[in-house]
Structure 1
Amino acid sequence: MVDTEVPRRRRVGGGALSALVVLLTIAFLGAAGLRLLGIDGTRYTVATTALTPYTTAAGVLLGCFALLLRRWAAGTVVLLVAIVMVAAVAPRAFPDSRPNGIGTEVRVMSINMLFGRADAVDVVAAVRDNRVDVLTLQELTTESVGALDRAGLRTVLPHRVFEDAPSAFGSGIASRYPLTAKALTPPGTMRQPGALVDLPGRQDIEVVSVHATPPVVTDGPEAWQRELAGLPNRNVNGPPRVLAGDFNATLDHVGLRRLLANGYVDAADEVGAGLEPTWPSGAFWPPPVTIDHVLVDSRCPVDTYGVLTISGTDHRAVVTKFVVPTP
């Protein structure tokens, strides 16, 4: 009797490779689950969520790799989840439709000064070159205020609400237009001054220089979560609000997504630059992420957005132009 059974083809790599694929699948599904389920959790899971764009790309590659190796179950599951992640992340690389806006053009720039060490001449040059109207500063020290003034900041932005302090605790707002200090956030670890900007015309704006506590400190992310939750929502019955600064959060973290759901838009996301990293500047480790933002009241159409390298700081500056509509 002739044996006509066709021998089964052995899968490439055998059991060891199968175990590796399974381990990578579990790791990917765990990281993706944090983002899709909206879990910030511990400082370690917060850091994992910050890497969502990298996780998404890795998931696509892992799914294709698993299918090529005929690990059908793992490959199919990973690719399906990766597609969902791509749907959440990829739109940041494409501009949104911009409604027509008639009103006052405003340019806002924000920079974390890294304990006041950022090159003041670079900062003022960026303000001049980009015709900035409102500048928000984080980690603003008394010494850096003096350096900025020597570089000519007061000449171009004569109005200010500064709460300078040692180390990383100070922040400030400088403006081409008159400012009135306003308490728009509860007290936090870092200073987060707010101000009403008296724009030309009939409509003003409120601005907050945002600096949330880093979530990866040994004490955990609780202070960071409270401070993000304490940022003011859009005031539909008042002037448009702008939150600009170092949120220590990406568009994948729950606290930032909550603000966007309550009436803000992320300027970078609006123009298709939402994947442009802002920290660490000029380094490849940790993997660069986008934690500096300008959140604009959704009533204000965003025209442009860009990131700038400033000497002396590990953050890149962010600058955007938007239109404050005439009421």
Structure 2
Amino acid sequence: MIALLVLALAFLEIAAMRVIGVDGNRLTAALLALTPYWAVGGLMLGGVSLGLRHWWIGGIVLAVALALVAMQVPRAIAATQPPAHGAALRVMSSNQYLGHADVDTIVRLVRENQIDVLNLLELTPREVREFERAGLFETLPYRVLKPQYGGAGSGIVSRYPLTELSLAGPSRMEQPSARVDLGGTSIEIVAVHPIPPTTDAAEWKKEVAGLPGPDSHGPVRILAGDFNATVDHATFRDLLGAGYTDAALSRGEAFTSTWPSRFFPPPVTIDHVLVDPRVAVEHYRVLDVPGSDHKAVLAELTLP
């Protein structure tokens, strides 16, 4: 009885934070990332409690677990896309895991998928030299690169001319941004990489809040990268509430995990491509990158 009650209270606390929209501290932010697993665990806990005839515990836990499941279901359902008849654009983002990701694989994926804009997180000076050797800049010649040793570097490389901007607020890790000139059409893109909430939850919230919102009267904006956040974080949902569309959610692929690339800790979806609501998401995929602890994310878009 006591063990069931303790487990039930822990489950209900996390469920309440998810429903209310509070990310809390480093520990609770980490636990909220596991909400899909909590929902399944709640169903099991509720069923066990009812089986042991602890009716109140079982009934409450099961009802809350079912509510969590209902909140998760839309992630597997593709949404209707807005009417968009402009240029096609393929955007990919890859966390390079302190510069250890396999460079040749990235270049191959860029060529095979005809990527137009590539965001690179945790980009190091050594890896920039390796990309030069592997021919990435022959395919994507335009660059806004902010490499650093360790995990703080980032960069944007493009098939089309880039003009460096300063769209993101202050952050401990580089979050470069640029205007992409597609020849008569311009978009704005940010390589997103806020500090993880498990390092400093308050700073993470501040850095995510410092990302630019969509501008319905200006160029299309795209945020792509490692947000260190899932859809179950209120901090991330605030971005969606500002008007962005998550490419994975839009295509019913939001259960596809992006980190870690191995099986432990439990995989979650923290890499995203967010697009202006005027943009149609035609396809979304998650791609394996040897040497990285993240998977790359790719979105094929049609601009308005």
Aligned residue in 1 for 2:215: 235
Conserved? CA contact 2:226–2:272, under 8 Å: yes
Aligned-partner SS, 1:111: strand
One of 19, 24, 31 as aligned partner of 1:41: 24
Per-residue deviation at 1:41? 1.3
TM-score normalized by the length of structure 2: 0.97
Which letter maps to 2:106? V
CA offset at residue 296 of structure 1?
A: 0.7
1:203 aligns with 2:185: yes
> Which deviations, in whole Å up to 9, do the C-alpha atoms of 1:230-264 show, x marking residues without a partner?
00011111101000001101111122100000110
1:7-26 to 2 correspondences below 5 Å: 18-26=1-9
Which residue pairs with 1:284 in the alignment? 263
Confirm or deny that 1:81 pairs with 2:64. yes
Q: Aligned partners of 2:240 and 2:30: how far apart in 1?
A: 20
Is 1:60 the equivalent of 2:39? no
Residue matched to 1:111 = 94
| In structure 1, C-alpha distance between the alignment counterparts of 2:186 and 2:44, rounded to whole Å | 48
Q: Could you list the structure 1 runs, at least 4 aligned residues long, displaced by more than 4 angstroms after superposition.
A: none
Distance apart, 1:37 and its partner CA: 1.4
Aligned partners of 2:82 and 2:280 also within 8 Å: yes
Any conservation in 2 of the 1:160–1:174 contact (CA below 8 Å)?
yes
Q: Which residue pairs with 1:171 in the alignment?
A: 154
Q: Separation in 2 of the partners of 1:149 and 1:255?
A: 37
| Counterpart-to-counterpart distance in 1, 2:138 and 2:274 | 27
Work out whether residues 203 and 324 of structure 1, in 8 Å CA contact, stay in contact via their aligned partners in 2.
no
SS at structure 2 position matched to 1:118 = coil
Contact 1:161–1:172 (CA<8 Å) still a contact in 2? yes
Kindly provide the amino acid, as one letter, of the partner of residue 55 in structure 2. Answer: W
What SS does the corresponding residue of 2:230 show, helix, strand or coil?
coil
Q: Is the Cα–Cα contact under 8 Å of residues 82 and 278 in structure 2 kept in the other structure?
A: no
Letter in 2 for 1:139: E
**How many angstroms does 1:20 deviate by?**
2.4
Alignment of 1:269-280 (within 5 A): 269-280=249-260
Equivalent AA in structure 2 for residue 97 of structure 1 = T
- What is the CA deviation profile of residues 74-121 of structure 1, one whole-angstrom value per residue up to 9, with x for unaligned ones? 121112111221121121112112233211111100001111111110
Aligned to 2:224: 244
Asked whether 1:215 is paired with 2:194, we answer no
Structure-1 residue corresponding to 2:145:
162
After TM superposition, the structure 1 stretch with the greater mean CA deviation from structure 2, 170-179 or 22-31, is 22-31
Q: Secondary structure at the match of 2:88?
A: strand
The answer to whether 1:317 aligns with 2:300 is: no
Deviation at 1:72, TM superposition (A): 1.5
CA-to-partner distance for each residue in 1:140-195, whole Å, 9 max, x for gaps? 11110110111110111111111111111110000011110000012210010000
Structure 1 CA distance for aligned equivalents of residues 62 and 221 of structure 2? 40
- After TM superposition, the structure 1 stretch with the greater mean CA deviation from structure 2, 69-78 or 165-174, is 69-78
Cα distance in 1 for residues equivalent to 2:134 and 2:150: 21
Q: Confirm whether residue 129 of structure 1 aligns to residue 129 of structure 2.
A: no
Measure the CA separation in 2 of the matches of 1:32 and 1:129. 42
Q: Match of 2:196, as an amino acid?
A: P
Q: What one-letter code is carried by the residue in structure 2 that aligns with 1:50?
A: A
| Structure 2 unmatched ranges of 5 or more | none
Give the whole-Å Cα distance in 2 for the aligned partners of 1:116 and 1:289. 21
Between the aligned partners of 2:80 and 2:281, the Cα distance in structure 1 is 10
Q: Secondary structure at the match of 1:277?
A: coil
What residue in structure 1 maps to residue 278 of structure 2? Answer: 299
Q: Does the residue aligned with 1:241 lie in a helix, a strand or coil?
A: strand
Distance 1:28 1:87 in 2: 16
Q: How far off its partner does 1:221 sit?
A: 1.1
**What is the RMSD computed on CA atoms of the aligned residues?**
1.1
What TM-score do the two structures reach when normalised by structure 1? 0.91
Query: 8 Å contact 2:142–2:162 — kept in the other structure?
Result: yes
- Structure 1 gap ranges (5+): 1-17
Percent sequence identity over matched residues?
A: 48
